[in-house]
A and B are shown apart, each in its own frame.
Chain A
C-alpha cells in the first residue's frame, strides 16, 4: 500500500486523522475526495488546491488516480505524516473602505455568465440578500433569519449561490467585529441546513460560521484591511475563480458584511 504524502493539512484534519482508522468515501472530484466520518466531511485535495479547513493537501495531480468511488472505505493509515500544518491568516484591523470599494467594483465587473435557471434563481437571491442586509441593519432578527433560511440551498452550483453568499457573510462578520451576524447565520444553518442543502455545502457553511474557510478567502480578508488595492484585487480574483459562481458569491457575501451598519459589533 503506497503511503500518500501529505504536504499540508489543517489542524483539525490532523487531529481527526490521528484518532480514526478509516472513513467512507462520500464524493470524488478531479481535485479532491470527501471522506465521511461521524456526520462530518474531511477532504483529501490535490497539490494545486489551496489549504482549507478539514483538508489535507496531498502530493497528487489527480484525485481520480486513487481509484476511489463513493461508498469505498479509505484506510487513513495510507496517509503519511503531515509535513506542514496550515493555520489560516486572520485580519488584525478593520477593513479599509477604499480597498473594499475597489474590490466591489471588480466583483461587479466579473459577474459570471448565467443560464436560464441561474437568471430565475438570481431574482430570488437578489431579493433575499436585500431582505437579509436590511434586516441585519435594522436588528430585525426574525426577518434576518427568515431571509437567511430562504437563501439556503438556493441557486446554481454544487455549493448553491445562497450558501456561498451566507458563508462569505459569516466569515467576514466573524473577523470584522460582527459576531452577532455570524451567530445568526450559524443558528439558521444548524436549524435548516440538513434539509435545505447538501452535506458538502453544509460543512462549508459550518466552517465559515466558525470563522474558517479556504486560504484565498483569508488572504482576501487580510488584504481588505490594507491600502494596497492591487493586492486586494488580485486576492479577490483568487477567490472569484473558485468554482463557477461560488467564488463570486463568496466575495459578494464578504462585501455585504462590510457594508457599514449602525451599532454593529
Chain B
C-alpha cells in the first residue's frame, strides 16, 4: 500500500462538495481509502493516529485542503492523485437543455416550466420536505424513499388530492406515465389498459403479463405500499382510479395490491364499480368473500396476477382464444415429482420482489398449512436471522434484509448466501428464485447468480439427490437485459423457468406434492 499526499494551499470547498469528492475518490480503481480534510492541527492529530502524517501534512495550515490517498501496490499513486485533484475542478453547468442542475425543487420548477413530475429518492426524513416543495410548485410526485411516517404520508396525499396532483409513494418503486418508465419499470407495449398498483413487482407483473398477452399499458400509477391501509384510506388508489376513468387513452382499469384494509376495500371496489370502463381488481391473497364482493359491484376480482391480466386484456378487446396462455406443464410436474425423494418435500422461495414472493406464498398456503415467511405475522413469521422451516418464502427486498444495504435487485450477495444455505438442506424439494428485468434493475440478474446456480446443482449431484431450481424471469423481450438471453442462461444451468409469477407459485407447490398430500 502507498500513501500519497497533496496539499492545496488556501483552498476552500464547501462540505457537500468535499463529501462528494471523498466518495468519488474512494471509488477510484486502486484506491483503498481517500481522505479530504482541512489542515487544522486537530485533523493532523487524527491523521497522526492513523500513521499518515508526513512533512507536507505537518506543514499544512488550517486554510489548506489535505488530500491523502492510500493505494494498492502496483497502482500508479501519482496518477491516482492527479485523478483525485481533477475531482476538485468545478465543471461548468451543462449546456444541454435536457440536463440542468438546480439547488432546490422550487428553482427547478421555475426554471423548467415544462416539467410536471418530481421523482424523489433521498432519505425519508428529507423526502417529506422535498415532496411538499414539489407539490407546492405544482409538480406531481413519485417518492421512491421509504421510512416516511404515516402522518407525513397522509399530509402529502391530502395536499396532492386537493391540488389535483399525483402523490405516488412513499415507497413507490414503479410507475409508467405517458409511456415513460420511472424507477423500476419494464419496457412494455403502450396500449389502453391502465394500472393502479400498491405493489411494485405486482404492478410490474401485471404490465409484463398484459404485454405478453398482446395487450398494452396506457398508464401505470404507483401508490406506495401503505396506501390501502386504514390510516391512509386508499387516497392515491382512489385518485388513480379517477384519473384513469377520465383518461381518454385508457379503456380498462386494473388495480393490484395485497388485500386492502376492509373499509378501504369497500371504497376501492365502490370506486371501480362506479367506473364507466371495465375494471379488474387483483388482490393477492384475497379471500373468496372479497372476490365475491367485487363481483357484486361489477368488478372482475382475482387473487392471482395471470388471470387478472388475461381478464384485462380480454376487456380491452383482445381475442385470447388464439393465444398461448401458458397453462400448467403437467408432464414437467410429473417428471420433477419423480426425481424428488420423499424427504424432499419443501419449497424455499428466495425472492427480490415482494409481490412475487406474496403470490407464490399465497398459492402454497392454499394447499399447505406449514408456510413460513418474513411477510407473515404471528407463529408463521420468520426473522432475518431465522433458519428456514418447512415451506419458507423470503422477501429479500424487505427492510429487515436490506437494512442500509442495496436492494437485492441491485446487489444479490445476501440472496446468494441464503440460496447456498438452502441448497444444503436435504428436505428442500424446490428452490424458487425471481429475476427482474427492466429499467433500474441489474444489467445481468441471472448472470450474477449463475456461478451460485451451477455450484448448487453440483453440490446436489455430489449428495446424490436432484435439486429442482425454479426461476421466474419477470420482463419482456423489449427490456434492456435481453429476456431470451437471460432465460437461455437458466436453461444451460439446468434451471427450470416459469412463464409467469402465477405459474411459478403453482409449479412450485405441485412439484413438491407427494401422494399423501
Q: Give the B-binding residues of A (Cβ under 8 A).
A: 26-27, 29-31, 34, 46, 48, 61-62, 64, 70, 106, 109-110, 115-117, 120-121, 124, 150-160, 162, 195-200, 230, 234, 237-238, 241, 243-246
The answer to whether the Cβ of B406 comes within 8 Å of any Cβ in the partner chain is: no
Find chain B residues with CB under 8 A from A29 CB.
Answer: 12-14
- CB distance A159 to B15 under 8 Å? yes
Find chain A residues with CB under 8 A from B93 CB.
Answer: 62
A153–B62 alpha-carbon span in the complex (Å)? 8
Find chain B residues with CB under 8 A from A237 CB.
Answer: 125-126, 129
Which residue of A62, A117, A159, A196 contacts B46 across the interface (Cβ within 8 Å)? A117
The answer to whether the Cβ of B287 comes within 8 Å of any Cβ in the partner chain is: no
- CB distance B43 to A160 under 8 Å? yes
Instruction: Name A115's closest neighbour in chain B (CB-CB).
Output: B22
Most buried by B among A30, A106, A230, A238: A30
Instruction: Name B42's closest neighbour in chain A (CB-CB).
Output: A154
* A-B contact list, 21 entries, CB within 8 Å: A27-B12, A29-B14, A48-B103, A48-B104, A64-B90, A115-B19, A117-B36, A120-B46, A153-B43, A154-B40, A154-B43, A155-B43, A156-B19, A156-B36, A156-B37, A158-B13, A160-B43, A195-B41, A198-B63, A243-B15, A245-B19
- CB distance B15 to A244 under 8 Å? yes
- CB distance B18 to A158 under 8 Å? yes
Instruction: Name B33's closest neighbour in chain A (CB-CB).
Output: A116
Find chain B residues with CB under 8 A from A151 CB.
Answer: 42
Which residue of B16, B49, B107, B129 contacts A61 across the interface (Cβ within 8 Å)? B107
Interface positions, chain B 1-58, Cβ under 8 Å from A, are 10, 12-16, 18-19, 22-23, 26, 33-38, 40-43, 45-47, 49-50
A19–B12 alpha-carbon span in the complex (Å)? 28
Find chain B residues with CB under 8 A from A30 CB.
Answer: 14, 90, 103
The answer to whether the Cβ of B320 comes within 8 Å of any Cβ in the partner chain is: no
- CB distance A198 to B125 under 8 Å? no
Q: Quote the shortest CB–CB distance from B42 to chain A (angstroms).
A: 4
A153–B42 alpha-carbon span in the complex (Å)? 6
User: Given A153-B62, A158-B15, A198-B63, 7 more contacts at CB 8 Å?
Assistant: A30-B103, A48-B104, A116-B35, A120-B46, A156-B36, A243-B14, A245-B19
A227–B456 alpha-carbon span in the complex (Å)? 59
The answer to whether the Cβ of B123 comes within 8 Å of any Cβ in the partner chain is: yes
Instruction: Name A128's closest neighbour in chain B (CB-CB).
Output: B42
- CB distance A154 to B46 under 8 Å? yes
- CB distance B12 to A198 under 8 Å? yes
> Given that A198-B63, A237-B129 are known contacts, is A162 also in contact with B13, CB under 8 Å in the complex?
no
Find chain A residues with CB under 8 A from B46 CB.
Answer: 117, 120-121, 124, 154
> Given that A116-B33, A234-B129 are known contacts, is A158 also in contact with B38, CB under 8 Å in the complex?
yes
- CB distance A156 to B18 under 8 Å? yes
Which residue of B34, B35, B63, B126 contacts A241 across the interface (Cβ within 8 Å)? B126
- CB distance A117 to B12 under 8 Å? no
Instruction: Name A149's closest neighbour in chain B (CB-CB).
Output: B42
A29–B18 alpha-carbon span in the complex (Å)? 12
Which residue of B10, B13, B62, B129 contacts A196 across the interface (Cβ within 8 Å)? B62
A12–B462 alpha-carbon span in the complex (Å)? 81
Q: Quote the shortest CB–CB distance from A182 to chain B (angstroms).
A: 21
A238–B125 alpha-carbon span in the complex (Å)? 11
A18–B323 alpha-carbon span in the complex (Å)? 82
- CB distance B43 to A199 under 8 Å? no
> Given that A153-B43, A198-B40 are known contacts, is A48 also in contact with B107, CB under 8 Å in the complex?
yes
Instruction: Name B63's closest neighbour in chain A (CB-CB).
Output: A198
Find chain A residues with CB under 8 A from B38 CB.
Answer: 153, 157-158, 160, 197-198
Find chain A residues with CB under 8 A from B26 CB.
Answer: 115
A197–B26 alpha-carbon span in the complex (Å)? 25
Interface positions, chain B 51-101, Cβ under 8 Å from A, are 62-63, 90, 93
Q: Quote the shortest CB–CB distance from B502 to chain A (angstroms).
A: 40
A92–B47 alpha-carbon span in the complex (Å)? 44
A95–B128 alpha-carbon span in the complex (Å)? 25
A238–B107 alpha-carbon span in the complex (Å)? 17
- CB distance A121 to B22 under 8 Å? no
Q: Quote the shortest CB–CB distance from B361 to chain A (angstroms).
A: 32
Find chain B residues with CB under 8 A from A106 CB.
Answer: 125
Find chain A residues with CB under 8 A from B104 CB.
Answer: 48
Find chain A residues with CB under 8 A from B22 CB.
Answer: 115, 117
Find chain A residues with CB under 8 A from B129 CB.
Answer: 234, 237-238
Find chain B residues with CB under 8 A from A153 CB.
Answer: 38, 40-43, 62
Instruction: Name B52's closest neighbour in chain A (CB-CB).
Output: A117
Find chain B residues with CB under 8 A from A245 CB.
Answer: 15, 19
Find chain A residues with CB under 8 A from B62 CB.
Answer: 153, 195-198
Find chain A residues with CB under 8 A from B151 CB.
Answer: 230
Instruction: Name B103's closest neighbour in chain A (CB-CB).
Output: A48
- CB distance A70 to B10 under 8 Å? yes
- CB distance A196 to B40 under 8 Å? yes
A151–B41 alpha-carbon span in the complex (Å)? 10
A48–B12 alpha-carbon span in the complex (Å)? 20
Find chain A residues with CB under 8 A from B10 CB.
Answer: 70
> Given that A48-B104, A70-B10, A198-B63 are known contacts, is A156 also in contact with B50, CB under 8 Å in the complex?
no
- CB distance A244 to B35 under 8 Å? no
Most buried by A among B16, B47, B129: B16
Q: Quote the shortest CB–CB distance from B292 to chain A (angstroms).
A: 42
- CB distance A157 to B63 under 8 Å? no
Q: Quote the shortest CB–CB distance from A108 to chain B (angstroms).
A: 11
Which residue of B18, B45, B107 contacts A157 across the interface (Cβ within 8 Å)? B18
- CB distance B49 to A243 under 8 Å? no
Instruction: Name A64's closest neighbour in chain B (CB-CB).
Output: B90
- CB distance B12 to A200 under 8 Å? yes
Q: Quote the shortest CB–CB distance from A153 to chain B (angstroms).
A: 3
- CB distance B15 to A246 under 8 Å? yes
- CB distance B41 to A158 under 8 Å? no
- 1/0 contact string of B93-121 vs chain A (CB within 8 Å): 10000000001101100000000000000
Find chain B residues with CB under 8 A from A244 CB.
Answer: 15-16, 18-19
- CB distance B42 to A124 under 8 Å? yes
Which residue of B37, B42, B107, B123 contacts A162 across the interface (Cβ within 8 Å)? B42
A20–B123 alpha-carbon span in the complex (Å)? 44
Instruction: Name A62's closest neighbour in chain B (CB-CB).
Output: B93
A238–B133 alpha-carbon span in the complex (Å)? 13
Find chain B residues with CB under 8 A from A48 CB.
Answer: 103-104, 106-107
Q: Quote the shortest CB–CB distance from A215 to chain B (angstroms).
A: 15
A151–B43 alpha-carbon span in the complex (Å)? 10
> Given that A62-B93, A124-B46, A199-B63 are known contacts, is A110 also in contact with B15, CB under 8 Å in the complex?
no
Which residue of B14, B50, B126 contacts A158 across the interface (Cβ within 8 Å)? B14
